[in-house]
Chain A
């Protein structure tokens, strides 16, 4: 172990879920004098738990997919070839690690380590400039809000900076409510100081006096790391900005599970201890926000971009990306890909490069990607050549969103996917606007009818009729975008809708009401595992292992336990 300087184990939420704690304990028990530290997430989530061994010569050896067994632990400590990990070449070529450069490489809560890697140099540089110059630098960088809507960050800051009030508020939106997105969680867990440094620069530029972080309660580790980082920064006196007499207070408020609170006026209400309903704008929060004070809200990833801009300069930053979308974007890649994880890519990369080259999906196995969560849309594989930026995705009927990118394989049903999202938005609609409250429910009901084989052409017409009305009649982004999942699937996968409605067929065999479960007697070895597993007693071992499909709940238990793959879903017998 002589050549080892230090061992690092990735213990962000996904690492822990994959068993990183056992690896950590195992290494600590045997590593002797070599320090074993916890680090965040490098984004290669598919191969967690991950271990990096720093060698004395400055190089590193990586191990992936390890567990706490003696074999693996001893293997790592003897630098064996077993489970050694090399970064996939295709992915490394396409990625550009600016914002996530330190994620998973440093101890997230160690301020010394953050500093040793250039941390707080951006704050020093920014505070050596005038606040106006800082705002102008952010404007020049072309950075647009990473929460999804893509409003230029510099402009938002200039509105707040122009306000004369002595008390101003800056909020970090860490209420990552879009199901399928985890960029912000990972950043807060892995590089909390970087997010906070961005906020301090924002406070300096805008003259903000109170800082809030509104974080989902579902992210306990992120909250823990932020709290430690805030306390350390306070100790070091970093929260007293040059030219100020009072140190900044940074308060973390935990969200309580309401998707609509990602909308800025709803978030402000929630921070005031009220129901998180949005309100009409104007007045915009920069005029009247939290408790009536001028307020600006930026997303976690936006703040994490700020230190990068000041490290490399706005000119270099704006040389990355497309004409109207600058810099990099972090995507949470998940779903039907071989190697899901967090990827940071320059704007302007194609969807295909992300799905096939980075995600490792086989061309031909993927039907669509879903971006932007419940507010976004499904983009078909035929459009994967599109260069990703805010405007191009919008033109396809989807949105950039916060960065959730779910890959949908050929064996999934697009109507069911739309139904899933409408079920989400109808239950998350705050109820304030009639078109959103009632409209999303009516859309959900129509989709429910279609996926259960009770739909008609009138349902499809209804969906297309009501969708634009909801968009027009809703006050906030939730309602204005809620119809997108249905509209985009109707646009690109209309044939699936028609098959459900006209023939009562779900090609993907995903909609339970449109499938039967059948056992192939030529493969069945009569082991009765399916009979024992079936929760409703639908399989009759006496009568040639026939399945009573009126009883069957399509839970797939029998399909999963069958050792001979004799059980499968088939088209419903009554289908046309």
Chain B
């Protein structure tokens, strides 16, 4: 097995752990590369096609390397009602990227997610897991500028 993924041996090589293995890789690498798929297939003794089949089924897995700051704009029902479409449009306008894309400098990537579970603070987004609620045009710009300044 590719040594870069030797940490897979943290878990038992039984098939019920396949998704967990992919999650571990995504946590460590930020995405699941072709090499990672090969490593997972070898470790769990399943065909590569099946690994890819499982991973493409679940929205969580990314096949492309995301940006340093991963922006998730929530489009759950409460956020949608409270203007998630607008929030996403503003992020896109400020960063010049579409849904699922990464900025050229590799700093930001954007994805729309179904629900972050903070519906009472709608509209919300999260950046690398930190949730920002009650967003409006101003607070959104301020937050993005803070991350831009950090670089």
Contacts and interface: CB of A to CB of B under 8 A. Distances in A.
Interface stretch (A54-62, A82-90, A552-560): A552-560
Interface string A252-273: 0111111100000000001111
A267 B26 CA distance: 21
Contact of A18 (B53, B93, B116, B133): B133
B23 interface: yes
B81 A408 contact: yes
Contacts of A452: none
Interface of A: 13-14, 16-18, 45-46, 48, 176-182, 185, 217-220, 253-259, 270-277, 291, 332-336, 340-341, 370, 373, 404, 406, 408-409, 412, 417, 420-421, 424, 430, 533, 535, 553, 555-557, 560-561
Contacts of A421: 77
Nearest to B58: A256
Contacts of B133: 14, 17-18
Contacts of B81: 335-336, 406, 408-409, 412, 417
Contacts of B69: none
A179 B114 contact: yes
A558 B126 CA distance: 24
Given A180-B115, A273-B16, A424-B114, A553 B89 contact: yes
Contacts of B17: 273
14 contacts: A13-B117, A45-B120, A177-B115, A180-B77, A181-B115, A181-B117, A182-B115, A256-B22, A258-B58, A334-B78, A404-B77, A430-B57, A555-B89, A557-B93
A539 B68 CA distance: 34
B136 interface: yes
A182 B61 contact: no
Interface string B1-39: 000000000000001111110110000000000000000
Nearest to A341: B120
B137 interface: yes
B107 interface: no
B86 A270 contact: no
B49 to A, nearest CB: 12
B82 interface: yes
Contacts of A535: 93-94
Contact of A257 (B59, B120, B122): B59
Interface in B99-130: 113-122, 124, 129
B59 A256 contact: yes
B115 A273 contact: no
B20 A14 contact: no
Contacts of B93: 535, 555, 557
B124 to A, nearest CB: 7
A484 B135 CA distance: 30
Given A220-B129, A275-B57, A276-B58, A14 B19 contact: no
B93 to A, nearest CB: 3
B100 to A, nearest CB: 13
Contacts of B23: 217, 254, 256
Nearest to A277: B57
Interface string B49-88: 0000110011111000000000000011110111100100
Given A334-B119, A341-B120, A370-B77, A556 B86 contact: yes
B119 A13 contact: no
Given A180-B119, A560-B137, A218 B113 contact: yes
Interface of B: 15-20, 22-23, 44, 53-54, 57-61, 75-78, 80-83, 86, 89-90, 93-94, 113-122, 124, 129, 131-133, 136-138
B98 to A, nearest CB: 13
A42 B121 CA distance: 15
A176 B117 contact: yes
Contacts of A258: 57-59
B60 A217 contact: yes
A240 B137 CA distance: 54
Contacts of B16: 271-273, 291
Listed from nearest, the 3 A-B pairs whose CB atoms lie closest are A45-B120, A180-B77, A179-B76
B20 A253 contact: yes
A266 B124 CA distance: 29
Given A176-B117, A182-B118, A555-B89, A561 B137 contact: yes
A336 B82 CA distance: 8
Contacts of A276: 57-58
A257 B55 CA distance: 10
Nearest to A261: B58
Nearest to A275: B57
A354 to B, nearest CB: 14
Given A17-B121, A185-B117, A276-B57, A254 B77 contact: no
A23 to B, nearest CB: 15
B119 A332 contact: yes
Nearest to A291: B16
Given A257-B60, A335-B82, A557-B90, A14 B120 contact: yes
Contacts of B116: 13, 218
Nearest to A412: B81
Contacts of B78: 179-180, 334-335, 340, 406
B82 A179 contact: no
A296 B14 CA distance: 22
A553 B93 CA distance: 10
Contacts of B94: 535
A180 B138 contact: no
A291 B94 CA distance: 49
A333 B124 CA distance: 16
Contacts of A370: 77
A386 B94 CA distance: 46
A256 B61 contact: yes
B58 A420 contact: no
A497 to B, nearest CB: 19
A248 to B, nearest CB: 17
Contacts of A253: 19-20
